[in-house]
Chain A
């Protein structure tokens, strides 16, 4: 039995609580960014691009059984780190669970500033896109 979204979020909150300062937090995100499973180059097109102002983000979703698999990439490494966290939370989950998931864990791990619309890095749009994929695929599953 795989972990639920909220279990994974708790796990991430625990991991981040071990960091003493922002530098450790950012270094961890940067390392996550570097380890992100990259999206296939053929999906790095405007169709998969999330319109953020500063860093580009591409997200691709596919159904495997009743679970959604997300792959993503960005041209900025901190954004990639954030994507890596989101993928860990939402990939391999059922569409209905993704749709209903709460995302307040982002505040708790000290990344709130990246949620601000002025940062325009597309984090908010990234979450919105992940949820939109979930809605679309659930409709497909129910047909």
Chain B
């Protein structure tokens, strides 16, 4: 059953922030690709943790510690089930996607040798480029790039020609943050595995829209940030196949990640603790689980179907405005609309939309190589979530028309 306008109304009531006014107007929040809003079910979960069972986990013998530990490990199992992961210890809680990628990249920096090659897609966020450049600098490995075309699609022929027995790792986002284009990761993974390379998929932008089955994908590493799927900031997931994580040197040293410590030698704890040094974001982890429960109670298929309607309506109406150029026109997209108006700077459009209470992102979206490809300073990016409405699409369109009128 599709989400009806009554359903959306009920859903919106779960999000306190959607009732606020910005610059005198009702907020229209269209920056969901940067951070999604938080439903009261998740907020309540955080309040409950700090009000009733805040304690350090995995080490206390007292009741509060045991309760907190159990809630944290239940959350890990929720994440495991949601992404259809084989073992709970393959779920590493991190502070988010950037942390997850850095953990893998810094481990690889120690495993790579001169002559090894890494392959990156042209559509990456800086957080999936820079850690690997650092790993290459340290190890002497080199970085190759899969080119993109004007629609935002990756050139898979070129990808195949880059693959060789020197390729150690391929990394690519599931969905591009700047354009919303869904990448053919099944093919990318299959072809990488054919030459014996591992694959890391950055799922930050996909997770709010697509429920990925990580065993079916057979992906080696997958990363997620909870704050993009109705969870709090500062918590996320690094998924890694057990054998991959076991082979990877730990990223940070500290408490919880050790088995024994002496000044002569320290042995590391098993998974997942080897990669969870120090006290984790306990409330965040528990709330991450609550956020997944919340989204699953609505259902990802219904979410995707409704967001597709929002995107289609917005694309259709925006295209009618003269001078509008939309970036990322590939058929396979999540609800992201990245655009410019000829002769106008995205910063100006975003500033005027903000005055009307409409929150969009402007700029290069931490994906400068994509902006260089199109030879533009940036774009205006409106990104939709299941709690947005058709009326809000109309407010966006009216806002863009007004901004164009004022700026031209």
Tell me, rounded to whole Å, the shortest Cβ–Cβ distance linking A25 to chain B. Answer: 9
Q: Contact at B352–A77, with CB atoms within 8 Å?
A: no
Q: C-beta contact mask, B381-408 vs A, less than 8 Å → 1, else 0? A: 0000000000000000000000000110
> Which A residues are in CB contact (< 8 Å) with B164?
none
The answer to whether A53 and B406 have CB atoms under 8 Å apart is no
Kindly supply a per-residue 1/0 record for chain B positions 346-361, scoring 1 wherever the CB is within 8 Å of any chain A CB and 0 otherwise: 1110011011000000
- What's the nearest-Cβ distance from chain A to residue B376, in Å? 11
Contact partner, B345, options A22, A77, A114, Cβ 8 Å: A77
**Interface contact A22-B406, CB-CB below 8 Å:** no
Is A38 interfacial (CB 8 A cutoff)?
no
Contact of A79 among B344, B347, B363 (CB under 8 A): B347
Q: Which residues of A contact B406 (CB under 8 A)?
A: 23, 26-27, 30
Q: Is A5 an interface residue (CB 8 A)?
A: no
Query: Is A78 a contact of B351 with CB atoms below 8 Å?
Result: yes
A76–B352 touching, CB < 8 Å? no
Bound CA–CA A60/B256 (angstroms): 55
Chain A 92-119 per-residue mask, 1 if CB under 8 angstroms from chain B, else 0:
0000000000000000000001100001
Q: Is the CB of A76 within 8 A of B347?
A: yes
- Least Cβ distance of B389 to chain A in Å? 24
Looking at the complex, which one of B23, B348, B354, B364 makes contact with A76 (CB distance below 8 Å)? B348
Of chain A, the residue at the smallest CB distance from B343 is: A77
Task: Give the distance to chain A from B364, nearest Cβ to Cβ, in Å.
Answer: 8
By the criterion of a CB under 8 Å from any partner CB, how many residues of chain B are at the interface?
Answer: 17
Cα distance, A56 to B378, chains bound together (Å): 11
Q: Is the CB of A77 within 8 A of B355?
A: no
The smallest C-beta distance from A31 to any residue of chain B, in angstroms, reads 10
Name A44-96 residues within 8 Å CB distance of B.
53-56, 75-79
CA A79 to CA B354, docked complex, whole Å = 15
Known contacts A77-B345, A78-B347: A54-B363 contact under CB 8 Å: yes
Q: How distant is the Cα of A121 from the Cα of B378 in the complex, in angstroms?
A: 13
Q: Provided the pairs A27-B406, A54-B362, A54-B363 are in contact, do residues A75 and B345 lie with their beta carbons within 8 angstroms?
A: yes
Q: Is the CB of A22 within 8 A of B347?
A: no
Q: Give min CB distance, B25 to chain A, whole Å.
A: 10
Q: How far in angstroms is the closest Cβ of chain A from B92?
A: 30
Task: Decide: A54 and B378 in contact? CB cutoff 8 A.
Answer: yes
B355, A26: Cβ atoms under 8 Å? yes
By DSSP majority rule, is chain A's interface helix, strand, loop, or mixed? helix
Does A55 lie within 8 Å of B347, measured CB to CB? yes
Q: How large is the interface on A (under 10, 10 to 19, 20 to 34, 35 or more residues)?
A: 10 to 19
Q: Determine whether B115 belongs to the interface, using a CB cutoff of 8 Å to chain A.
A: no
Q: A75 to B48, alpha carbons, bound, how many Å?
A: 49
A23 near B355 (CB under 8 angstroms)? Answer: yes
CB distance from B37 to the nearest CB of A (A): 18
| B377 in the interface (beta carbon within 8 A) | yes
**B402: nearest residue on chain A (CB-CB)?**
A23
Residue of B nearest to A79 (CB): B347
Question: How far is it, in angstroms, between the C-alpha of A55 and the C-alpha of B407 when the chains are bound?
Answer: 15
B363 touching A22 by the CB < 8 A rule? no
- Tell whether A78 pairs with B348 under 8 Å between CB atoms, given A27-B406, A30-B406: yes
Complex Cα distance, B354 from A26, in Å, reads: 12
What is the CB-to-nearest-CB distance from A55 to chain B, in angstroms, rounded to a whole number? 5
- A53 and chain B: residue at smallest CB distance: B363
B175 CB to closest chain A CB (Å) equals 23
CA distance A23 to B406 in the complex (A): 9
Bound CA–CA A53/B354 (angstroms) = 18
- Contacts A30-B406, A30-B407, A56-B377 known; A76 to B345 CB distance under 8 Å? yes
A100 to B377: give the CA distance in the assembly, Å: 35
A22 near B377: Cβ-Cβ < 8 Å: no
Report the bound CA distance from A114 to B407 in whole Å.
17
The docked-state distance in angstroms from the alpha carbon of A56 to that of B23 is 26
Complexed CA–CA distance, A79 and B172 (Å): 35
Closest Cβ of chain A to B31, distance in Å, is 12
Q: How far is the CA of A121 from the CA of B350 in the complex (A)?
A: 12
Q: Which residue of B lies closest to A120 (CB)?
A: B363
Task: Give chain B residues whose Cβ lies under 8 Å from the Cβ of A78.
Answer: 347-348, 351-352
Tell me which of A23, A26, A121 contacts B347 (CB under 8 A). A121
CB distance from B139 to the nearest CB of A (A): 31
- Chain B hits for A79, CB < 8 A: 345, 347-348
**CB atoms of A22 and B23 under 8 A apart:** yes
Within 8 A of A (CB), among B2-24: 23
Are A77 and B362 in touch, CB under 8 angstroms?
no
Q: Which 3 A-B pairs have the closest CB atoms?
A: A76-B345, A76-B347, A54-B347
**Can you give 21 contacting A-B residue pairs, CB < 8 Å?**
A23-B355, A26-B351, A26-B355, A27-B406, A30-B406, A54-B347, A54-B362, A54-B364, A55-B345, A55-B377, A56-B377, A75-B377, A76-B345, A77-B348, A77-B407, A78-B351, A78-B352, A79-B345, A79-B347, A79-B348, A120-B363
Q: A26-B406, A77-B407 are in contact. List 12 more A-B contacts (CB 8 A).
A: A22-B355, A30-B407, A54-B347, A55-B347, A55-B377, A77-B344, A78-B351, A79-B347, A114-B351, A119-B351, A120-B363, A121-B347
